[in-house]
């Protein structure tokens, strides 16, 4: 089965459309694209305000996700672990 | 010797961390527990059905770390080693309680098939945007990072398929490198990429629906 992704990567010679670009955004931001693919994305972005706005939204999304609280373990469990550590530690 | 919380993730600091643990340094252990337990809980929840069971697994894993730290040889990073202990405990517990689906199958299922990042209706036939996405850069930071927005984002993450949730949590919430994410979750590079892409795309979509109309 051909995925959207493989189809996009197949046709390197022509320019990207917006619907194709949005599938490359993560690899673009993660630095996973090779030089050719990266250049294709940048060529498209240079002439497309809509995709530039989209990629900004994705950057904002990542930043906001980075501010979500982490899910801490309960205090009682932490206390138990510290207790276990003291029992275990060489005295 | 100077030791700051969290410095164990730096390759240079790892030996000192291990030495401090072996020597019984409580502050080092406490910092390690604070730093890694949230991610451990998240990973454990991929194998066991309840939060309580995940907490048990995390606790058992830390006891396993204490039991094994004397034999830790530094062939993998301390973090990878600790998470290997965690996933082994979690798998054992998960098999008892619920899961019969192997981990790799779970990852493949969440990364399989076509799943567009953006609703195809947002594009016209030639593949261009029907109407451009809003400019979020004009929104005040207080709006983007307000309590309500963060809660919405948390809810969106909670609603993701579990492997996507695990990947975005470790990569973007906890700020791990993609290599660490891949190693700990035992994912292929391409699966990790697809899972992260899908997860981020869905969270962006949730944010967009929430912020709709406020950016203009």
pLDDT tens figures, B4-63: 444 444 444 889 999 999 999 999 999 999 999 999 998 898 888 889 999 999 999 999
Per-residue model confidence (pLDDT) at position A3 = 57
Which band of pLDDT confidence, cut at 50, 70 and 90, is reported for residue A12?
low
Per-residue model confidence (pLDDT) at position B137 = 83
Do B136 and A51 lie within an 8 Å CB cutoff? Answer: no
Per-residue model confidence (pLDDT) at position A24 = 97
Percent of chain B at pLDDT > 90 equals 59
- pLDDT reading at A53 higher than 50: yes
What distance in Å separates the CA atoms of residue A9 and residue A14, rounded to the nearest whole number? 11
What distance in Å separates the CA atoms of residue B104 and residue B119, rounded to the nearest whole number? 28
Set out the domains of chain A in order of their start, with CATH numbers: 4-69 (1.10.10)
Averaged pLDDT of chain B: 86
Per-residue model confidence (pLDDT) at position B138 = 84
- pLDDT reading at B104 higher than 70: no
Distances (CA, A) of A47 to A15, A41, A43, B114, B120: 11, 10, 7, 27, 21
Residue B24 CA, distance from chain mean position: 29
Q: Name the pTM for this structure.
A: 0.81
Using CB atoms, pick whichever of A17, A65, A86 lies closest to residue B168. A65
Per-residue model confidence (pLDDT) at position B141 = 87
pLDDT tens figures, B112-162: 778 899 999 999 999 999 999 999 988 898 888 899 999 999 999 999 988
Average pLDDT in the B188-208 region? 96
B124-130's contacts with Cβ under 8 Å and 24+ in sequence apart are B126/A17, B127/A17, B127/A18, B127/A19, B127/A20, B128/A17, B128/A18, B128/A19, B128/A50, B129/A18, B129/A50, B129/A51, B129/A54
Which band of pLDDT confidence, cut at 50, 70 and 90, is reported for residue B94?
confident
Query: Which chain A residues touch B50 with a CB distance below 8 Å?
Result: none
Chain B interface includes A6 (CB < 8 A): no
Copy the structure tokens of residue B187.
Answer: 């994912």
What is the DSSP annotation of B94-116?
HHHHT--S-HHHHHHHHH-S---
- pLDDT reading at B204 higher than 60: yes
ipTM more than 0.85?
no
Helices (H), chain B: 11-22, 26-44, 51-68, 78-97, 103-111, 141-144, 147-158, 162-168, 178-185, 189-211
Per-residue model confidence (pLDDT) at position B82 = 95
Interface test with A, best of B18, B204, B207, B215 (most A CBs within 10 A): B204
Nearest Cα to A81, choosing from B61, B46, B108? B61
CB atoms closer than 10 angstroms to residue B176: 19
Set out the domains of chain B in order of their start, with CATH numbers: 7-97 (1.10.1740.10), 103-211 (1.10.10.10)
Given a contact cutoff of 8 angstroms between Cβ atoms, the answer to whether B135 and B216 are in contact is: yes
Given a contact cutoff of 8 angstroms between Cβ atoms, the answer to whether A81 and B62 are in contact is: yes
């Amino acid at each position: 089965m051909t995925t959207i992704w493989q189809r996009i990567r197949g046709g390197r010679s022509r320019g990207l459309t917006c619907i194709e670009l949005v599938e490359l955004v993560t690899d673009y931001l993660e630095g996973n694209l090779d030089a050719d693919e990266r250049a294709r994305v940048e060529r498209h972005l240079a002439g497309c305000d809509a995709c530039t706005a989209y990629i900004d939204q994705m950057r904002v999304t990542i930043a906001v996700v980075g501010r979500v609280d982490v899910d801490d373990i309960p205090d009682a469990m932490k206390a138990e672990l510290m207790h276990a550590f003291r029992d275990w530690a060489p005295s | 010797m100077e030791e700051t919380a969290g410095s164990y993730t730096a390759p240079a600091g790892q030996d000192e961390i291990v030495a401090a643990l072996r020597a019984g340094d409580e502050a080092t252990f406490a910092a390690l527990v604070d730093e890694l337990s949230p991610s451990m809980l998240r990973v454990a929840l991929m194998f066991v059905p309840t939060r309580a069971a995940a907490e048990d697994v995390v606790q058992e894993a830390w006891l396993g770390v204490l039991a094994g730290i004397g034999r830790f040889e530094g062939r993998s990073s301390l973090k990878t080693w600790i998470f290997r202990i965690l996933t082994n405990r979690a798998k054992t517990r998960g098999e008892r309680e619920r899961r019969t689906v192997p981990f790799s199958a779970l990852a493949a299922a969440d990364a399989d098939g076509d799943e567009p990042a953006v609703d195809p209706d947002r594009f016209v036939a030639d593949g261009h945007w029907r109407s451009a996405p809003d400019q979020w850069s004009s929104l005040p930071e207080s709006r983007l990072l307000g309590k309500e927005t963060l809660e919405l984002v948390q809810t969106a993450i909670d609603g993701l398929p579990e492997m996507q949730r695990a990947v975005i949590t470790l990569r973007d919430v906890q700020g791990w490198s993609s290599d660490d994410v891949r190693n700990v979750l035992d994912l292929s590079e391409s699966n990790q990429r697809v899972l992260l892409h899908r997860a981020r795309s869905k969270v962006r979509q949730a944010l967009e629906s929430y912020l709709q109309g406020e950016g203009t």
